Every structure is written in C-alpha cells, then in structure tokens.
Amino acid sequence: MRQRNDAVGWLVAAVAIVLLGLAAWHLPAKFRSWWDEARSGHQVTRLQRQLYAARVVGVQHPEFVVTAAKAIPRTARYAILLGADAKTRLPDYRTAVPFAVYWLYPRRVVNFAAPGQWVLAFGTKESELPDGLTSRRELIPGVLVARQG
Amino acid sequence: MGSAGIALLLIGYLGAGLGLLAGIGLVRSRGDALRFSGLALVSGWAATGALLSLELVAGLGVSIASVVLTWVAIGVGSLVAARRIPGGPTLAISLPPDRVRRVIVGAAALLLALAVVLLAARSIFSLGGFPGDAWNIWITKSKIVYFFHGLDLGPGGLRQAVSPDYPPLRAAVDASAFSFGGSADPLFLPIQSGIVDIAFLGALVALLAPAVSAAVAVPAAVAIAVLPKFADFVGSELADETVIVQLSLACVCCLLWLQRRDRRLLAVAALMLAALALTKDEGAMLTLSVGIALFVAAAGRRREALFAVAPAAAVFAVWRTWVAVHHLPTNYAYHLTNLFHPIYLIHQSDRIGYGTEQLLRETASVSVSFVAVPFAIAASVLVLYRRDRKLGLFALGAIVLPLIGYDLIYWCSVVEPHRFVDDNVRRVTAPVVVAAAAMLPLLLRRAWRPLDP
C-alpha cells in the first residue's frame, strides 16, 4: 500500500514539475511580448490604436471611416451600397463594410436611404448610384459618401 | 471622464463585490477584505453585469446612474444578508514553515507581481488589435446599448447585429465602461477586462492557498498567467475572455465546497454560473455541465448543489423568453433541435470525428494548453483511486462534459464543418483549459495527501 502511495506521490510531483517547467519556459517570451505590446501601444496615437482592429483583419485604408463619421451627422441614418465592382476595386470590402458600420455608431444603418438620409457606397459605378445625391465625397478610391436629396 | 472614469468604475465593482462577500460571510475583517480583494472585484463585476442584464431585459438602459443604483441595491441586499448570515471560519493564507517553501512563495510572488504589472500596462496601452468577432459582435452590441439606451430593436439596433440572441452581460458591462469613460471608445474596454482578469489571478491565489498552501497556489497562478489559453485572451474583448474567468472560479468554488462544505463558496459559484449563463449561449451549456457534475458528485447534498445552478437557470430562462417574445433570430450556426433528428445526425456523422479530433488537439496541446486538460483528467482519476468520489467525479464531469457539449454543437451545426470548427475551437476550449488548470492544484493535493481532511 505504501509503495502504491509513493508511486502516486511521484506521479503527482512529475505532473506539477512538467506544468511549472512549461510555464517557466514560456515566461520570458510572454513577459517580453507583453512589454513590447504595451510600449507599442504607448508610442502610437489613440486614433491609430482605435483603427488598428481594422488593419488586423486586412482593411488597407481604415481612415476612410473617420472622414465618413465627419461627413454623416451623428443623428443621421445611412444605407450601405455595394457595387458590382466592390470585389475588384476593394479586395478588403468584406471586412471594411462591417468595420464602417461598427465605427459609425450612433448613426443608424438602414436598408434603403430615404430622402435626407445618407449613402455609403463601396465599389459602385456611376450608373449604380441612386439619382439626386448631394454632398458627394470620395473618401478613398472606390468608397463614396453622399446624401440622398 | 476618460480613464479616471474607468478607475472609478473598477473601484465601484470592488466595493460592490466586498459588500457581496461580506453579505455571504466570506469577508468579515480588513484582512479578509485585502485577501479577497481580487475575488471581490470579479464578484462585483459579475453581479453588476448580471443585474444590468436583467435591467436591460426590463427595458432600462445602462448609464452611470443605473450602475450606481445597481451597486446601492447590491449594498442593501448584502447588508440584510450580513445581518442574517453568520461569518464562517477565516480562509487564511499562512506562510509555509520551512525556508525552501518560503523562498518558492517569495520568488513566485515576485513573478506574479511582474506579470500583473505587465498585463496591466498591456491593457492600459492596448494596441486595440481586437479580433474581428470582438468588434463585429461584442463591441457593436455594447455601442447599441450605450448609444440607444438599452436593447434597441430599431434600425441599426440589436436585430441587425450579428448573433442578436446572445445574452447581454458583456454588452452591459462594456456599456458601463463607455458611460463612466464618457464616450464609446473601445480602448476603455481592455482596461476594464484586463483588470478583471488580473483580479481573477488574485482570486485564485486567495481561494487555493488556504487549501493547498501558498507554495503551490502562487506558482499555479503564475503558470495560469502565462498559459496561452488565458494570456492570449486578456484584453481581447471576446466573450470567451469573460467565460474563462466565470467558469474557472465556478469550478474552483464548487470543488472547494465539495471538499470543505463551506456554503459561502457555493454562493460565489452560483453567482459565477449566473453570470456565465448571461454571457454566451454556450455559457448555458457550460453551466449545465457544471450543474450535472456537481449534482452527481454531491451525494447527500444534492439540494444544496441545485442552489448553485438555480439562479443561472432562472436568468437564462428570462433572457430566452425575451428573445422569443421579440422574435430575434437564433444562432445561425447550429440548431440544437437537430440533435433529435437521427437521420440528420447520421448524415453529418463525419463532423463528430473532426470535431473530437480538433477539441482533443487543442486541449492536449503542449504549447497553448500546457497539457492542462489531460493532466487534470489524470489527476481526477487518481483522486477517484484515492476513494474521494466527490472531488474526482466533479472535476472529471466539469472538464469532460463541456467538451462533449461542444462536440454535440459541432455535430448538429449547419455550417461547413472545417470553417465552423477551425474558426471556433481555439476560442471555446480556452475556458475549459483554464478551469482545468485552476482545479489542478486542488486535485494534485488530494491525490498526494489522501488522508487530509
């Protein structure tokens, strides 16, 4: 019985040593990476940090959302228009569109822009845009913001 | 108010949590308050989040006033409870008598302090590189709650969000951070969640040390701090980050309750499970798994065991009723009703093999999981061999049942298996791995010293 107890004791000790050994092995790299991340975060501007989430998922020019937020009033509603060229002109549109929606709160996104509401168009040709748009502004090549007249 | 507002919010969580712990009799002196400050912060945050979630369901919004009123309610409830519930024995941490183990405690405490400082710095100066799901699902919902004063279902509201049927605790606590910070700046969120994660490490030390000695508890906390399944989620703003804390503390408290029959710890477990059920749909599955494991293990005290899961079941039922009443679309990725269609399951049988393989690979990984799950399962078997059925059965159930649950979800899912599993398995296994690692010191101690009380 005592021999069995000893065997279990050795097993327990081995598990504890392996676990702590793995932790010790990872510790220096983890500490260094946390320090590097904190230092990088300290060195860049707040806006760059706020936009970094978009860069992580491959949005190449996330700054367009900042300009869009300046163009569309906070209480306004807007619709997203996806043009036939979105895929070719904006390879990152699949992530850029939801990032724009996330960024533009509290502006409410609607399915269709009624008169007085706004349009955020991705990769649209001139012929695909609705009539009567005013206050048109190209945010980056392929992305346009405008007000439905 | 900016970051100062977030500091005030965290102090508020700490105060509410200390009140709660005083109410259940766990904190009755300054020493207790200091020792359990980590658990208090996590408990205050979980209780505030759970109550704010219920307030959201009732049609209210989240603001500084609503958060402060929630704290007042927690304070009053705790005061009433403290007068009725007598304080139990102090769960004190004593330094080991011999010099070698004192040196171990000192060195591990230094490393833990360094880890805490670095994690705090990383959270405060977060680069903001949140994963896509974090901003597309969770932070978006928090913005909806903050800007539209509640669970708004109008244009651009919850109905149009991704996974609108997911419970609202994360949105509630994040909207609180926006309110105290003074704007919907996502960079406030890692400060809040990072400090809660750090408090979780402190809570583990305070709970484990009286049971296994500080010479084991402090190094274990250091190991968990650098465990990739924990560290990589700190400040990620994914709901899994929250689930890690809630599930791990619930499991440790349940295990300690089984060992010590201390009802105060069962109350903490009940709070964590209720918060867990209000965080994610899968949180309900995890709560059910822990509940089943506890019910099976707690022979002779099953009525008390039910107390741990009853609040979670009640709040989850409230949330699902709200979802049904407002006809919100349910999760597109899987339908649990598919589990009752044998032909569908037979047709999908290849998924279960792939799901199992990926779950095992993630949980048994040396590099990201430190083999914590296989070790905890082996330790549970050793504890069973030592004829401690309660601890062994609970730990085994709390680790294995969630993995079976995830496998069933993969089996009944409607999304292409490789896409669904590959995208999901890294995140969902993290809470199980950290919970297993957190329970491991108690299990190893039990296996090592079978005759200890």
Distance CA B201, CA B221 (A): 6
Cβ-Cβ contacts under 8 Å for B453 (sequence gap 6 or more): none
Q: Is a pLDDT exceeding 80 seen at residue B104?
A: yes
By C-alpha distance, which of B361, B366, B117 is closest to A25? Answer: B366
Predicted local distance difference test score (pLDDT) of residue A132: 87
Burial of B59 (0-12, 13-18, 19+ CB in 10 A): exposed
Predicted local distance difference test score (pLDDT) of residue A2: 62
A120 CB neighbours in chain B (<8 A) are: none
A57 CB neighbours in chain B (<8 A) are: 132
For residues B118-126, average pLDDT: 96
For residues B348-365, average pLDDT: 90
User: Is B452 touching A (CB cutoff 8 A)?
Assistant: no
Kindly indicate the confidence band of residue B393, based on its pLDDT and cuts at 50, 70 and 90: very high
**Closest by Cβ to B118, choosing from A38, A50, A99:** A38
Q: Is a pLDDT exceeding 60 seen at residue B452?
A: no
Over residues B262-312, the pLDDT tens digits come to: 999 999 999 999 999 999 988 999 999 999 999 999 988 999 999 999 999
Stretch among A73-82, B81-90, B186-195, B392-401 having the lowest mean pLDDT: B81-90
Distance CA A16, CA A10 (A): 10
User: Is B145 touching A (CB cutoff 8 A)?
Assistant: no
- DSSP 3-state of B440: helix
Predicted local distance difference test score (pLDDT) of residue B417: 78
Predicted local distance difference test score (pLDDT) of residue A1: 58
Residue of A20, A48, A75, A107 to mutate, interface with B, max B Cβ within 10 Å: A20
Burial of B219 (0-12, 13-18, 19+ CB in 10 A): buried
Distance CA A116, CA A76 (A): 9
Q: Hey, which residues does A110 pair with through a beta bridge?
A: A79
Stretch among A2-16, B109-123, B211-225 having the lowest mean pLDDT: A2-16
By C-alpha distance, which of B265, B244, B410, B433 is closest to B335? Answer: B410
For residue B447 the two structure tokens come to 């296996």
DSSP string, B211-239: HH-HHHHHHHHHHHHH-HHHHTTTT---H
Q: In what order do the strands lie in the sheet with A108-110?
A: A108-110, A77-82, A118-122, A143-148, A133-140
Over residues B239-253, the pLDDT tens digits come to: 999 999 999 999 999
For residue A26 the two structure tokens come to 């990872």
DSSP string, B60-93: ----HHHHHHHHHHHHHHHHHHHHHSPP------
DSSP string, B343-364: HHHHHTHHHHHHHHHHHHHHHT
By C-alpha distance, which of B339, B320, B399 is closest to B363? Answer: B399
8 Å CB contact of A5 and B121: no
**Closest by Cβ to A49, choosing from B135, B187, B440:** B187
Amino acid at B331: N
Digit-by-digit pLDDT tens for chain A (149 residues) are 566 666 777 777 888 888 889 999 999 999 999 999 999 999 999 999 999 999 999 999 999 999 999 999 999 999 999 998 888 888 888 999 999 999 999 999 999 999 999 999 999 988 888 888 888 999 998 899 999 98
**Closest by Cβ to B226, choosing from A26, A55, A57:** A26
Predicted local distance difference test score (pLDDT) of residue B347: 85
Q: Hey, which residues does A109 pair with through a beta bridge?
A: A78
Predicted local distance difference test score (pLDDT) of residue B278: 97
For residues B405-421, average pLDDT: 86
Distance CA B336, CA B334 (A): 6
8 Å CB contact of A31 and B228: no
Rounded to the nearest angstrom, the minimum Cα separation between B127 and chain A is 5
Higher pLDDT, B234 or A132: B234
Instruction: Tell whether the torsion through CA atoms of B169, B171, B174 and B178 is positive or negative.
Output: negative
**Closest by Cβ to B155, choosing from A49, A51, A77:** A77
State the DSSP code for B413.
B
Can you give chain A as a three-state secondary structure string? CHHHHHHHHHHHHHHHHHHHHHHHHHHHHHHHHHHHHHHHHHHCCHHHHHHHHHHHCCCCCCCHHHHHHHHCCCCCEEEEEECCCHHHHCCCHHHHHHHHHHHHCCCEEECCCCCCCEEEEECCCHHHCCCCEEEEEEEECCEEEEEEC
Predicted local distance difference test score (pLDDT) of residue B413: 84
Rounded to the nearest angstrom, the minimum Cα separation between A89 and chain B is 22
Phi, psi of B344 (to 5 degrees): -60, -45
Predicted local distance difference test score (pLDDT) of residue B419: 79
Rounded to the nearest angstrom, the minimum Cα separation between B25 and chain A is 33
Rounded to the nearest angstrom, the minimum Cα separation between B119 and chain A is 7
Closest chain A CA to residue B234: A34
Residues 360-399 of B with CB under 8 A from A: 366, 370-372, 375, 378-379, 382, 385-386
Q: How far is CA B336 from the centre of its chain?
A: 23
Q: How much is the mean pLDDT over chain B?
A: 93
Distance CA B133, CA B238 (A): 7
Q: Is a pLDDT exceeding 60 seen at residue B451?
A: no
Q: Hey, which residues does B49 pair with through a beta bridge?
A: none
Q: Where are the beta strands (DSSP E) in B270-398?
A: none
Residue of A1, A17, A26 to mutate, interface with B, max B Cβ within 10 Å: A26
b/e for A56-91, b at 16 or more Cβ within 10 A? bbebebbebbeebbebbeeebbbbbbbbeebeebbe
Predicted local distance difference test score (pLDDT) of residue B453: 45
Distance CA B436, CA B399 (A): 7
8 Å CB contact of A22 and B223: yes
Q: Is the ipTM of this complex over 0.85?
A: yes
Interface A:B, Cβ pairs < 8 A: 142
Predicted local distance difference test score (pLDDT) of residue B406: 93
Distance CA A89, CA A93 (A): 9
Where is B296: in which H helix or E strand?
helix B281-297
Cα angle B107-A21-B380, degrees, rounded to a multiple of 5 = 105
User: Is B156 touching A (CB cutoff 8 A)?
Assistant: yes
Predicted local distance difference test score (pLDDT) of residue B336: 77
**Angle subtended by helix axes B302-325 and B37-57, to nearest 10:** 40
Answer whether 0.90 is exceeded by the pTM.
Answer: yes
